[in-house]
Structure 1
Amino acid sequence: MTASLALLLALAPIGADPAGVTTDDFDSVRLYTLTNPSGASVKITNYGAIVTSIVVPDRDGNLADVALGYDELKSYTNAVDKPYFGAVVGRYGNRIAGGTFELDGETYELATNNGPNHLHGGVIGFDKVIWDVAPVEGKGKRALRLTYRAKDGEEGYPGNLDVSVTYEWTDDNRLIVAYQAKTDAPTPVNVTQHTYFNLKGEGDGTILDHQLTIDADRFTPVDETLIPTGELAPVTDTPFDFRDGKAIGQDIDTDDEQLRFGGGYDHNFVLNRGDAVPSELRRAARVVEPTAGRTLEVYTTEPGLQFYCGNFLDGRLTGKSGRPYIFRGGFCLETQHFPDSPNQPAFPSTILRPGDTLTSRTEFRFGVD
């Protein structure tokens, strides 16, 4: 019995593997592909709502897969150090200090799966469950909607949470990611997408030469366990100033306490949203890969952006290309609320209450320079 996520080639805009996998635990896992008229494509599996592949052209029209990941389901379930390649993470993406928070006078205990802290929803977060999936109807629409109910008490969180993520792949190579969530009891929610990118192509060396711009005047410094101190520190005259654009590797080896804590960049940036309303998309970041000329722009309704540059990749994981994923061989731009917000009253609130609907939208816009 195979756990392969083998793709059924089809002429339809959305193709699915009708067989899925045949193990008892994973017999409802499927892999879907969204292909636009230019041949650029995205592959998504309902295990973890994972984006397994993003194939886009360079300046000469050559297609390459720019998302780190695997060809087989077993690699996602058994991966060393659980890097969260391509997954939707939650119920709370990023870290919660000490695996505990207080809400409306009650204290909640969560798993401590990242040193002393809680990370990305716990031991079995959204990245490790099987989501229900359906195509989104609409003329010319190339989209999937994945849904999941996180039960009251799951991973220690209060409330039954109904969450959905819709992926849409457009003719102009935009991957649109839209989230919705409702709850029957107050609960913290911070859902994000955890794709690792290498715009040269997955497995093709480091990302240190990628030119990165982040539209943020401030960031949230952390302690040695990567929990925010509560300060919103200016990026001016620090290695964290990406406002004018620079190579990711330009200042990464600077003798800086924050870089030592993260082993490089693994920090939340406070996005410059100005007078934007919460539902308005604003540009958060732009990346240019100088050799092939691929670009990525990130637009979001979220207030924060976690920039992570693959500091824990070490060559032990082998990707779709058959090449190892080396140190700093990929970067993440995770649109989100700030880490540890349930314990940080000065941060934007992540508490969702009954009767309210969480909505969030991020667009990953691929192009060429």
Structure 2
Amino acid sequence: MNVAKDILGQWTEYTLTNQNGMAVSVLDYGGIITKILVPDIRGNLENVVLGYKDYGEYKSDSNYFGTIVGRVAGRIRGASFQLYEKTYNLHANNGNNHLHGGPEGFHQIIWSVTPFQTESEVGLKLYHQSSDGEGGYPGNVDILVTYTLNNKNQLNLSYWARSDKTTVLALTNHSYFNLTGNLKDTVKNHYLTIDSSQFVELNEELIPTGKLLNAEGTPFDFRNCRRLGDGFNDEFDQNRIVESGYDHYFLFDNQLINKVVLKDPSSGRVMSMESNEPGMVMYTSNSLGSGLQLSEAKSEKHLGVCFETQASPASLDIKELPSVILKAGEEYKKQTKFTFSLEK
């Protein structure tokens, strides 16, 4: 187990490595996970996330590859919200709406990083203090995000925060996973299980309508494992709205420990995900343009899949959805763990 440090001019990249050779590389800029190397069934260590070959591309990255997203991940309708009858106006950076914390979001700050190591794990503590009014949000918020890698090939992401004013907060990581290794193919032939029987309907602006839809009998029912590419079509209205794929909030049923299990038959890799979050946005890179030079290949549609575990920013309008409100002085404590294994 070790932590390697690489100085990249104004940024620093840290690489966590366990005794199995699994390695996770993270920038202090945006807390970006640039690479995750895990073995396939033939023992080949390959990268299973999307990232740029030229790290300078992260400065203007509109895809949020591997970043910590906040203060609020997802879209806030009309780029404003109300708390206790006071209106807070945010930057509209996605049409008329506010997306992923806006231009001053956590994906574009340099985090204060402290590496740590024990006999059984190695990790990074990333700290940031977001000041009152930053990005239009209320409250001085202390935030600690911890990345931990152990010898069971588990990567644990934990989020802690506290605000001196009641505010809104929904942090997540925006890694795009592709288990083929080194981007050999899109994720269309990945097989996916999600512990969810309900998802949130979207309108043409990709804003939740307030209607919870039953997944049964639709391309959104992943309870019994199905091919991810089944939804890469225009036949079902909700797949069409997001440009042939998924960009929807799934509510977890909490029937299973693993909220997500992703498998790639070609490599034998399996990724299981646990989380104490109430749900997630699954995004299948529907709007990822072609031709970007990534670390191993050129970008293309459906090249990766994101599992953005979080509460829902739509809860600011739709009270039935999991709330993003963090009350003054309360602790925000969330966790998502990814376990990498091989198909037996």
- Structure 2: tracts of 5 or more residues without a match: none
Give the CA deviation at 1:254. 4.5
Q: 1:201 maps to what in 2?
A: 181
Q: 2:321 maps to what in 1?
A: 347
Which residue of the other structure, out of 51, 62, 75, is the alignment partner of 2:57? 75
Give the CA deviation at 1:356. 0.5
Moved more, 68-77 or 83-92: 68-77
- 1:325 matched to 2:325? The reply is no
1:14-25 superposed matches below 5 A: 14-17=3-6, 19-21=7-9
- 1:361 matched to 2:344? The reply is no
- TM-score w.r.t. length of structure 1: 0.90
Contact 2:147–2:158 (CA under 8 A) maintained in structure 1? yes
Structure having the larger proportion of residues in strand: 2
Give the CA deviation at 1:135. 1.5
1:171-210 superposed matches below 5 A: 171-210=151-190
Partner deviation per Cα, 1:39-91 (whole Å, 9 max, x = no partner): 11000111001100000001121110011002433111133xx1000001000
Contact 2:313–2:323 (CA under 8 A) maintained in structure 1? no
1:150-165 superposed matches below 5 A: 150-165=130-145
Give the CA deviation at 1:255. 1.4
Q: Distance in 2 between matches of 1:118 and 1:78?
A: 17
Q: How many residues align?
A: 342
- 1:267 matched to 2:248? The reply is yes
Give the CA deviation at 1:282. 3.4
Q: Distance in 2 between matches of 1:265 and 1:202?
A: 23
Contact 1:210–1:288 (CA under 8 A) maintained in structure 2? yes
Q: Give me the identity figure in percent.
A: 39
Q: Distance in 1 between matches of 2:285 and 2:250?
A: 17
Give the aligned CA root-mean-square deviation in angstroms: 1.4
- Structure 1: tracts of 5 or more residues without a match: 1-11, 22-26, 275-280
Give the CA deviation at 1:204. 1.7
Partner deviation per Cα, 1:202-233 (whole Å, 9 max, x = no partner): 43221100001111010011111111111221
Which residue of the other structure, out of 122, 127, 141, is the alignment partner of 2:107? 127
1:35-50 superposed matches below 5 A: 35-50=17-32
Contact 2:201–2:248 (CA under 8 A) maintained in structure 1? yes
Contact 1:284–1:305 (CA under 8 A) maintained in structure 2? no
Q: Distance in 2 between matches of 1:137 and 1:251?
A: 42
Q: 1:278 maps to what in 2?
A: none
Q: Distance in 1 between matches of 2:41 and 2:154?
A: 16
Contact 1:188–1:350 (CA under 8 A) maintained in structure 2? yes
Q: 1:64 maps to what in 2?
A: 46
Q: Distance in 2 between matches of 1:56 and 1:360?
A: 25
Which residue of the other structure, out of 84, 87, 107, is the alignment partner of 2:67? 87
Q: Distance in 2 between matches of 1:34 and 1:56?
A: 12
1:204-243 superposed matches below 5 A: 204-243=184-223
Q: Secondary structure at the match of 2:19?
A: coil
Q: Secondary structure at the match of 2:59?
A: helix
1:302-341 superposed matches below 5 A: 302-321=277-296, 323-341=297-315
Contact 2:120–2:150 (CA under 8 A) maintained in structure 1? no
